Structures are given as C-alpha cells and as structure tokens.
Amino acid sequence: MAAKIMVKGLSLWYDGKQALKDITMDVPEKKVTAIIGPSGCGKSTFIRCLNRMNDIVNGCRVEGEVTIDGESIYRNNADVVKLRKTVGMVFQKPNPFPFSIYDNVAYGCRVAGINNKKTLKEVVERSLKKAALYEEVCDRLRDSAMSLSGGQQQRLCMARALAIEPEIILMDEPCSALDPIATAKIEGLIRELREEYTVVIVTHNMQQAARVSDYTAYLYIGKLIEYGITRQIFENPKEESTEKYITGRFG
C-alpha cells in the first residue's frame, strides 16, 4: 500500500477542548478511504486537518504531523494556497456560487490567473465530464448554477474541485442532502474517481462506506479505534466497539 497521506500522532483542540486524540494512519494513494463513526466523533474535524481548513477556526490548536507525498503540511513555511490546490474538498450540502454553471467550474482557474478562453473551455468541459454532468448541462452552461437539482449541484461542486487538478479529494458526507437516485450517481462517480485521485470520504451511512470504499477508519470520541481494508472492518472487526457500531448496537 503506497501512502499518499501519512498522519502521525494527530491531536486537535478547540478552545482547550480536545476533539482528536493521537490519530496515526496512512491513507493509500488512488483508493477511497471512508471515515465512519457516530455524530460528534471527530470525522469532519479529521478531514479538515488534511487541507488545514481548521486554521480558520479561532482557538484551534493542532499537534502531530500530516505529510502528503512525504512533505509536512504543518511546517512553518508550508504554502497553504498550494495545499488547497492539491487537496480539493466537497462539502455536505451543495454550495454552488451564484454564478453560471460555466463560471462555477472556471472559478478556481481564474483565481489562479488562467484567463485564456480556449483553456478555460477545455477545463470546464473536461471537469464536467469527469463529474458525469456534462451531458446534462452542455447546452445551458450560461444558466445559473442555482437552477440545477440538488444532485446536479453536488456534481457541479465536484467538477469545480476537479478543475484545479487536485491529487486528493476530501468529501464531507457528500450525499447526506440527496435523494437515493442522486446518491447512486455520486457513489458511482466516487468509484470512478479513485482511478485518478486519492479520495477520503466522511459518511454516516455505513452501507455507503461498504459500497464505495477500499479502506475504512472507525473513529469514536476523537480516537481512531480501528482502521483497515473495508471488507475486513465490516465482516471481521477486531475491536468490540467497531462491531457494536457497525451492527447498530450503539451510535
């Protein structure tokens, strides 16, 4: 297993209250890793450590080490802008900008100083195709993104994340606000994305974790209880706490 992300002794506090406790795990390259656990266990906090989004939270303190391709992302001279280009993120609720479909996808490129019309057109088309949305919107790229359905908006947000050519994609419960049909499309997309990207997904839906992920990490009250190949975690967990959570006896 080639590790894309290595986490060693990661702990985090919000205003003195500890939310993550000494987490150590390797996230493999070009695989889907699911983070599961009950509400409030630190799942979203953990993945936000992987692109330093917790930096914007007042009173947040992080200890430990996170490296991507062997380079520490918490070192003093780390380029956070470059990091967030490498590590894209899709949030729980679709959050398209109040622009056209085209301008949503092109946004990151323009921020990076890319304004060539031909280049932007190619990026928008390629990203929408990767997000399995192009065929549905190709004749209305100048329409407002707000006119799309919830599932389409979430795939648009994925296209927007893909447009800046990340190597890692973080997804924080990307299907929780979607209906079953839209969820199935997103899950299919996640399985395809692992051919090119390292994907880390937080999900409260254990069936979803079992369907889409290669590896699963179970968190409980800020601690990593168990981590391994998804099939092993679900069929033969080593820890009693993991087994209780997966079988629905608590959580």
* Closest of 221, 250, 233 to residue 45, by C-alpha: 221
Helix (H) or strand (E) holding 35: strand 32-36
Beta bridge partners of 229: 215
Structure token digits, residue 158: 């994925």
* Closest of 98, 93, 188, 77 to residue 143, by C-alpha: 98
* Closest of 164, 168, 163, 87 to residue 127, by C-alpha: 163
Query: What's at 98, amino acid-wise?
Result: P
Q: Rounded to the nearest 10 degrees, how much is the dihedral formed by the CA atoms of 119, 122, 127, 128? A: 130
What angle (nearest 5°) sits at the alpha carbon of residue 160, between those of residues 156 and 161?
120
Instruction: Note the pTM of the prediction, 2 decimals.
Output: 0.93
- Phi, then psi, of 215 in degrees rounded to 5: -130, 150
For each of the chain's 251 residues, which pLDDT tens digit applies?
789 999 999 999 999 899 999 999 999 999 999 999 999 999 999 999 999 999 888 899 999 999 999 999 999 999 998 999 999 999 989 999 999 999 999 999 998 899 999 999 999 999 999 999 999 999 999 999 999 999 999 999 999 999 999 999 999 999 988 889 989 999 999 999 999 999 999 999 999 999 999 999 999 999 999 999 999 999 999 999 999 999 887 65
φ/ψ region of 68 (left if φ > 0, alpha if ψ in -120 to 50, else beta) reads beta
* Closest of 7, 71, 51 to residue 227, by C-alpha: 7
Q: Which domains are seen in the chain, by residue range?
A: 3-95+161-246 (3.40.50.300)
By the 8 A CB rule, do 198 and 5 touch?
yes
Side-chain-facing half-sphere of 245: CA atoms under 13 Å: 25
